[in-house]
Each structure stands twice: as structure tokens, then as C-alpha cells.
Amino acid sequence: MAFAPFHARRSQSRSTVPKVLMRGNHVVAEAAVRAGCRFYFGYPITPQNEIPEYMSERLSKIEGGVFIQAESEIASIHMVIGASMAGGRVMTSSSGPGISLKQEGISFLSGLELPAVIVNMSRGGPGLGNIAPAQSDYFQATRGGGHGDYRTIVLAPNSGQELADLTFEAFDLADKYRTPVVILGDGMLGQMMEPVEFRPEIPIKKLPHKDWALTGAKGRPSRFIRSLILDPGEEEEHNWKLMRKYEKIAREELRWEAFAADDAKMLVVAFGTAARIAKGAVKRVREQGLKVGLIRPISLWPFPFKALRDFSKKVKHFIVFEMNMGQMVEDVRLALEGGGEVHFYGRPGGIVPTPLEVSRVITSQYYQKRLG
């Protein structure tokens, strides 16, 4: 819908309310522009079409803004590589099938050590699947998805406000570590409108200088950016360097949140949309006196392994809730190292479960484990 984005930006300055009501996809696009993104390359796919549509208009009105609807997702991710080599802040977005096609470029971005932001508003799959919200791309996002030994930072927002904030952070993280950052949303987050308060726009001049970018070797030695390293020893060193970077990210860029976890006898673990629903469910069962809390990983990679392990010293019962048939649950099991019992509840893509439904699962598990 064309009316929402542009009027929203304007009305923000005139109305007395600091927030604007915006569709998630528009929020990502607007936040990206404010974070200094001047290059967007994409390809239509539901449920994220509002991102390229917004960018086509927004960037065409900004000096130096570039929008291209490429001929495919493969082309668009390689356009991203080009603009990133040139030092720009650059973004692409897609969903399921399109993200699969981008994997080649994501592997290259990682090997080439180039910053970029990749948004996945995921939908039901595999194959064409459908366009309803789902979380079945967790493995693809957190395991890299393409070939080679690499990781991408994966951020999983659960609201309009977080879409804005994490988009901002994604650009900073990408530049700081010279690595691609994935924002893993879903069709619901992309389509839903919520009140959002944006950070002010960062002037392009204030963005960090990139002393590795290809700009033409004027007055300096020439540079090259490559992932092909034929010498096995050198290749090994390159991979060690990447690993050291990933270890640093795993130490320093963890993001997670706990709710009602202090006295909990049972913890629900969920991310993104599922975490919102789980929080609603946890509040319900708390009203009935059940001591249940919620852990929400916000960075899916790095995953809060240690935090979960620490909780397992006090809490022995975990429920993992996902809108897929069990992906993050593997990381939770890894984190607990056998130190807790894990029950999985999931529904495959297409249906967004209600808080009531999830609260029933929690209640039944709670009593089965004789916690109440």
C-alpha cells in the first residue's frame, strides 16, 4: 500500500506523537536509509515486496541513492558485493526461495570479508511453499547456508521497533566485522504495522572510513579483494583469521533477553514472532501461578549457549517453541549439554499459533513434570 510509508515519515515531523505506525517491511527500509544505506539491490518476492517498493521511491529521491530491481536474486546479491567493495552501505532482501539463491553470494561476502545486510522475511517452505509466516529458515541462516567454513551474524527481531533498531545495528556490525549480517524476520513481522520510533539519520560523512575499499588507486598502493587463495597454507591462515573473527563476535555480540526467569522452574525458549507469542503464553500461565519464564535469543548466531547452560544449573525443564518442526531446538540441546530436559513444540510454516495454544502446551508439560 503506497500511502503508509511516505505520509508516515512526514507526519512524524508534524504530529505531536513521536512514533509512526508503519508496516514492518517499510520499517526495515526506512531504518536502513537512516543508517546510511544508499544501495539496495533486490528482486520481488512475497512477503517482503514492500522493502524494494519503498526503496525504489525513497532512494530515487536521495542524492547518490541507488535502487536496482535485478533480474534475479543471484544478480542482486552480486550487485551487493560490488557496492560493498566500493565501500557503500548496502542491503538486499528476500524470502525463502530467493534467500536460497543468494547463498552463493553470501559465501563470497564471507570469504571476501565484505559488509552487507541481508533481510529474510521468511515464509513456509521447502520449495515454493507458501507466503505465510514461518521460521523454517533457522538452519539456513545460522549455519551459513552456502559452501565453506563461515558464519553470518543473524539477528531475529520480534517487533516493529526491533526491526528498526536491529536494522541500524546490523549495518554497524557488518562494517565493524566486515561480514554479512542477516536479519531473520518472517511474513508476519514484515506485514504487520506497529508504532515505531526511528533513530535520527546518520549523515553519510559520519560513517566509518573504509581503508580497504576499492576506489581507484589514486595516491596510494593498489588493493585487491579476493576469496581465492591457491596456496593451502595461506588458505588455512585466511580461514584461521575468519575463525578468530567469529570467536570475537561470539564473545562480544551476543544478544538475548529473559522474562520472568528468576524464580522459574520451567523455561520456554523462542525467537522472533514465536517469542512474542510465547511471552503472551508465559504471562497467562504466570497468572495461574505456574513458575515459568522465557528466554529469547535475539542473536541466533552467535547463539546464547552459555546463558542457557547457566540457567540449566537452576532450571531443569525447557520447552522450545518454534514455527517450524524443530531447528533452534538443536542449539538449545547443544547449549544444555544434557543438563536439562527439552520438550519441543512446533508447527510447520503457515499457521501462527495463538498464545492460548502455547499456554496449554506449557501447562500440560508443567504438570506432567510434577512442577506444580
Ligand X SMILES: Cc1ncc(C[n+]2csc(CCOP(=O)(O)OP(=O)(O)O)c2C)c(N)n1
Give the ranges where 61-207 is alpha helix by DSSP (H): 73-85, 96-112, 138-142, 160-177, 187-191
Which span (29-37, 187-195, 237-245, 323-331) binds other proteins, by CB under 8 A?
187-195
Q: Is 164 in the site for ligand X (CB under 6 A)?
A: no
Give the position of cell 526491533.
Answer: 162
Binding track over 5-24 against other proteins, x by CB under 8 A = -xx--xx--xx-x-x-x-x-
Please tell me whether residue 232 adopts helix, strand or coil conformation: helix
Cβ nearer to other proteins, comparing 11 with 364? 11
**What letter does residue 206 receive in the DSSP assignment?**
G
* Cβ(297)–Cβ(156) below 8 Å: yes
In angstroms, the CA 300 to CA 154 distance is 5
In angstroms, the CA 183 to CA 180 distance is 10
Please tell me whether residue 354 adopts helix, strand or coil conformation: coil
Site for ligand X in 114-153 (CB under 6 A): 128
Q: Is 101 in the site for ligand X (CB under 6 A)?
A: yes
Q: Is 260 left (phi over 0), alpha (psi -120 to 50) or beta?
A: left
Which span (97-105, 151-159, 197-205, 227-235) binds ligand X, by CB under 6 A?
97-105
Contacts (Cβ under 8 Å, ≥6 apart) of 250: 302
Q: Which does 7 bind (CB under 5 to 8 A by kind): ligand X, other proteins, none?
A: other proteins
Q: Is 227 in the site for other proteins (CB under 8 A)?
A: no
Which span (147-155, 171-179, 190-198, 364-372) binds other proteins, by CB under 8 A?
190-198
Q: Is 45 in the site for ligand X (CB under 6 A)?
A: yes
As measured in angstroms, the least distance from the Cβ of 46 to ligand X is: 7
Q: Is 97 in the site for other proteins (CB under 8 A)?
A: yes
* Cβ(87)–Cβ(64) below 8 Å: no
Residue 342: phi, psi to the nearest 5?
A: -115, 125
Q: Which does 231 bind (CB under 5 to 8 A by kind): other proteins, ligand X, none?
A: none
What is the contact surface with other proteins in residues (CB under 8 A)?
1-4, 6-7, 10-11, 14-15, 17, 19, 21, 23, 43-47, 49, 52-53, 56-57, 60, 67, 69, 71-73, 97, 127-128, 131, 187-188, 191-195, 276-277, 279-281, 283, 352, 354-355
What is the contact surface with ligand X in residues (CB under 6 A)?
43-45, 73, 97-98, 101, 128
